[in-house]
A and B are shown apart, each in its own frame.
Chain A
C-alpha cells in the first residue's frame, strides 16, 4: 500500500501525517515489531523501518547506536522484511529506509519483489539520489512492482535538482530540514520552511500533488505542530529510538514512553 493513502487521508483531515521511524531488530526483531505496532496504535500514519547498516553516513549517534545494537544481535535483511510484513499487516503504509549497499547486495530486483510481497510501500534511500546513472536499476524495479520511491532534498539542493528529485519521487519527497545528520534538536530548523517552499513550487509546477515530509530534528508535539504548519508530513526517528534506548532493561516502560511520545506528536500534527 502506497504511503500516498496515508497522506491523502491526513490531507482530508486537514492535517499533516506523522511518520515514525525505528530500525528493525531493535531492541530485537520481535521487540522492534512490538514497538512499531505501539507507534501505529498511538497515531503514526506511516511507518519507516530502518535497515541497520554498518556504515551509516547520515545517521547521528542515537540511531547509529540502535542500529549497531541490532547488528550485534545478528539482524539480517530477511528480518527487516519480516518486520515490514508484520507492521504492514496493521494496514499502515510501511516503507523501508535503507542505505544502498544492502539492497544492491541482496539484488535490486529481488529486494523489490520481496518488499512488495511483504506488503511494503517502498524505499527511502538516503545515499541514493535519483540521478539515472546511480538509481536507474532501483527506479526500474520500483516501477515494476509499483513501489514508492522516496528520495531526499536538502537545503543545499539547487532548483534543478529539486525539480529532478520531485519528478522521480513517488509516495512523498523527504525534505531534510537541516544540514546535518539525524538527531533530536532543541529547536526546529529555520532552513526547513524555505526548503519546503521551494519544493512546493517545484511540485506545483509539475502538477503532481506529491506530499512533502520534513525530517531530522523533531522530538516533541510543539515542534511537530510547527513543522506541520507548512509540511504534509512530519518525520520523527531519533526521539522514538531514544525512548527505547533510555529503558534498556524495562521493555514495558520503553513501550509506554513510545506511546506517550507518539500521542504527543500526533496531537502536534493535528493542532497546526
Chain B
C-alpha cells in the first residue's frame, strides 16, 4: 500500500494560500517581507517535489521502511461494545517516535535536503514535534535547533532529554507566556536571520502559505491509508471520523482523504481545558475570533484589542491559541464540526482506552477518543452496532505519564493500588468478540 496519495479536494487552498478564496479570508500570508523570498522558494520546492514521482517514492519508502507506515487500522472491540458502535483506531501511536508527527518532519526534512539546506529549526509544545524533528535531522544528517517554551521544557523534561540524545539543541523560550506560541515567534526570528541555510520545520498545519498545505500533504497519508484500510476490511467508508485539533496537523492528515465523501461526518475535538465558559481553555474555533496569528488569518483566542490570549490545556500539544486555517475554513463551511472536550473528559478517555484496549493514548489523542465516543453512542443508537467511527489515535501516552501520575495520583511505589483507575463502580469489563 502506498502511504501517500496526491489527490486534490474541494477544500484546498488557492495558489496564494487562501482557503475559500481571499474574500472569505482564511489563510494567506501575513509575514515580514524578509521571509517572502524564503516562503516563495519553499512553495516552489514543495510543489515541484510533490509533482516529482521520485520524491514521492522516496518519501513513501522512508515512511514505510524507517517510520513504520502504514500504521494499522485497529478495531477496538471492547470499546465498541461499550458504546454500541464500531470504533476503529488509526494507530499513529505505533509510528516511529510515537506520533503522526514523524510523517510531517520526514517530508519536510527530505524537502530540506532537496533544497540543499543544511540546518533545520523547529518549535515544539509537548515535545513530540521536537523529538520528531530531532529524529529526522539525525536521519538526514542535518543540524537541528528546537525552540520550546520554558514552561513546556519543564513539563516535558523527558522529551527534552530525547532531543538532546538525538543531537538537537533545545532553546527554552522565556518570553510571553513561555509556551508553544512563543516558541513559534522565536523560531521565526531565528529563521529571518538564517533563512539562507535554514529550513523551518513547521510543526502543524498552521502558519503562512505554504505551511498549512505542505504539512497537510505530508500528513494526509493518515487518511489515505485509513480510507483504503476501511474499504478493504469492511467494504465501506466510516460514518464519522474524528481527531483532536490543536494546530490541527493530525486532524487535517486524517480529514483530507474524506472531505469529498459527503456521507462521512467529520469531527474535530478542541481542548476545552477547564471548560469553555472559563478563561482556561484552548478551544480556538469554538471561542476564538477571526484574526491573524503566526502568518495566517484564522480563528485566534484574542482580546478586544487583538492581543493573543494565553491558552490552556492539560495537553501541552494542544495548548495553542490559533488553529490551522483550513480548519477555520472547514468549520465556516460546515464541512467539519468542531467541539470542545475538557481536560477531565480527555483524562477519563485516556483511562478508559487504557483499561479497555491496553492502549495508553497521548492526552491529545484522548481528546479525540472522548469526543468520538459521544458521537459513536449517538450513531449507534440511530443506526445500530454497524455504525462506524474512525478515530485518529495520533500519539502514544508515554510522554504524558508525568501528567497522568499527577492527575490520577499514581506512581507511588510504596502505595498498593487496590482500586484501579476509573470512575468508582464503572464497569470496564467486557468480552472480546
Which A residues are closer than 8 A to B by beta carbons? 53-58, 60-61, 64, 68, 71, 76-77, 100-106, 126-129, 131, 133-134, 151-158, 161, 165, 176, 178-181
Q: Given A101-B291, A104-B292, A156-B37, does the pair A54, B30 have CB atoms closer than 8 Å?
A: no
Which residues in A have their C-beta under 8 angstroms from that of B36? 129, 154, 156-157, 161
Sorted nearest first, the 9 A-B pairs with minimum C-beta distance are A105-B306, A154-B34, A102-B306, A180-B193, A156-B37, A133-B22, A54-B308, A101-B306, A101-B292
Which residues in A have their C-beta under 8 angstroms from that of B196? 179
Which residues in A have their C-beta under 8 angstroms from that of B189? 57-58, 60, 180-181
Give B47 Cβ to nearest chain A Cβ, in Å: 18
Complex Cα–Cα for A211 and B22 (A): 31
Give A128 Cβ to nearest chain B Cβ, in Å: 6
Q: Indicate if the CB atoms of B32 and A134 lie closer than 8 Å.
A: no
Q: Indicate if the CB atoms of B34 and A55 lie closer than 8 Å.
A: no
Q: Indicate if the CB atoms of A102 and B33 lie closer than 8 Å.
A: no
Q: Indicate if the CB atoms of A161 and B193 lie closer than 8 Å.
A: no
Which residues in A have their C-beta under 8 angstroms from that of B292? 100-101, 104, 127
Q: Which residue of A lies closest to B309 (CB)?
A: A54
Give A173 Cβ to nearest chain B Cβ, in Å: 10
Q: B305: which of A102, A128, A134, A180 is its contact (CB, 8 Å)?
A: A102
Give B5 Cβ to nearest chain A Cβ, in Å: 30
Q: Which residue of A lies closest to B322 (CB)?
A: A55
Which residues in A have their C-beta under 8 angstroms from that of B293? 55, 101
Which residues in B have their C-beta under 8 angstroms from that of A101? 291-293, 300, 302, 306, 308
**B281-298 residues at the A interface, CB under 8 angstroms:** 289, 291-295, 297
Q: Indicate if the CB atoms of B33 and A53 lie closer than 8 Å.
A: no
Q: Indicate if the CB atoms of B188 and A77 lie closer than 8 Å.
A: no
Q: B306: which of A68, A106, A131, A152 is its contact (CB, 8 Å)?
A: A106
Q: B100 within 8 Å of A by Cβ?
A: no
Q: Indicate if the CB atoms of A154 and B33 lie closer than 8 Å.
A: yes
Complex Cα–Cα for A68 and B185 (A): 14
Complex Cα–Cα for A133 and B25 (A): 9
Give B392 Cβ to nearest chain A Cβ, in Å: 29
Q: Show 28 A/B contacts (Cβ-Cβ < 8 Å), sorted by A.
A: A55-B181, A56-B185, A57-B294, A57-B295, A68-B175, A71-B307, A76-B305, A77-B305, A77-B306, A101-B292, A104-B291, A104-B292, A104-B297, A105-B302, A127-B292, A129-B29, A129-B31, A129-B36, A151-B33, A152-B32, A154-B36, A155-B34, A156-B34, A156-B38, A156-B195, A161-B33, A176-B32, A176-B34
Q: Given A68-B175, A106-B306, does the pair A57, B37 have CB atoms closer than 8 Å?
A: no
Complex Cα–Cα for A58 and B191 (A): 11
Q: B28 within 8 Å of A by Cβ?
A: yes
Which residues in A have their C-beta under 8 angstroms from that of B175? 61, 64, 68
Q: B430 within 8 Å of A by Cβ?
A: no
Complex Cα–Cα for A60 and B32 (A): 14
Which residues in B have their C-beta under 8 angstroms from that of A64? 175
Interface size on B, residues (CB 8 A): 39
Q: Which residue of A lies closest to B41 (CB)?
A: A156
Q: Indicate if the CB atoms of A57 and B195 lie closer than 8 Å.
A: no
Give B130 Cβ to nearest chain A Cβ, in Å: 20
Give B29 Cβ to nearest chain A Cβ, in Å: 7
Which residues in A have their C-beta under 8 angstroms from that of B297? 104
Q: B83 within 8 Å of A by Cβ?
A: no
Q: Indicate if the CB atoms of B188 and A57 lie closer than 8 Å.
A: yes
Which residues in B have their C-beta under 8 angstroms from that of A128? 30
Complex Cα–Cα for A192 and B306 (A): 33
Q: B421 within 8 Å of A by Cβ?
A: no
Contact with A along B172-204 (1 / 0, CB 8 A): 000110000110010011001101100000000
Q: Indicate if the CB atoms of A68 and B176 lie closer than 8 Å.
A: yes
Q: B269 within 8 Å of A by Cβ?
A: no
Q: Which residue of B lies closest to A75 (CB)?
A: B305
Q: Which residue of A lies closest to B16 (CB)?
A: A133
Extra 16 A-B pairs, beta carbons < 8 Å, given A71-B307, A134-B29, A156-B35: A54-B308, A55-B176, A57-B189, A57-B192, A60-B189, A101-B292, A101-B302, A102-B307, A127-B31, A127-B32, A129-B36, A133-B28, A155-B34, A161-B36, A165-B33, A181-B192
Complex Cα–Cα for A21 and B48 (A): 43
Which residues in B have their C-beta under 8 angstroms from that of A58? 32, 34, 189, 192
Q: B416 within 8 Å of A by Cβ?
A: no
Choose among A64, A127, A155 the residue with the greatest number of B CB atoms under 10 Å from its CB: A127
Q: B18 within 8 Å of A by Cβ?
A: yes
Give A213 Cβ to nearest chain B Cβ, in Å: 14
Q: B304 within 8 Å of A by Cβ?
A: yes
Give A111 Cβ to nearest chain B Cβ, in Å: 10
Q: Indicate if the CB atoms of A129 and B305 lie closer than 8 Å.
A: no
Complex Cα–Cα for A64 and B308 (A): 15
Which residues in A have their C-beta under 8 angstroms from that of B305? 76-77, 102, 105-106
Choose among A68, A134, A152, A153 the residue with the greatest number of B CB atoms under 10 Å from its CB: A134
Give A146 Cβ to nearest chain B Cβ, in Å: 24
**B252-311 residues at the A interface, CB under 8 angstroms:** 289, 291-295, 297, 300, 302, 304-308
Complex Cα–Cα for A57 and B295 (A): 9
Give A78 Cβ to nearest chain B Cβ, in Å: 8
Q: Given A55-B181, A181-B189, does the pair A126, B176 have CB atoms closer than 8 Å?
A: no
Which residues in A have their C-beta under 8 angstroms from that of B181? 55
Complex Cα–Cα for A157 and B36 (A): 8
Complex Cα–Cα for A61 and B291 (A): 25
Complex Cα–Cα for A242 and B363 (A): 43
Give A97 Cβ to nearest chain B Cβ, in Å: 12
Q: B34: which of A54, A76, A179 is its contact (CB, 8 Å)?
A: A179
Which residues in A have their C-beta under 8 angstroms from that of B16? 131, 133
Complex Cα–Cα for A171 and B24 (A): 31
Q: Given A56-B185, A68-B175, A181-B189, does the pair A153, B33 have CB atoms closer than 8 Å?
A: yes
Which residues in A have their C-beta under 8 angstroms from that of B29? 129, 131, 134
Give A226 Cβ to nearest chain B Cβ, in Å: 21
Q: Which residue of B lies closest to A151 (CB)?
A: B33
Q: Given A64-B175, A103-B306, A105-B291, does the pair A134, B30 have CB atoms closer than 8 Å?
A: yes
Which residues in B have their C-beta under 8 angstroms from that of A153? 33
Q: A176: which of B30, B33, B37, B182 is its contact (CB, 8 Å)?
A: B33
Q: B32: which of A76, A102, A105, A154 is its contact (CB, 8 Å)?
A: A154
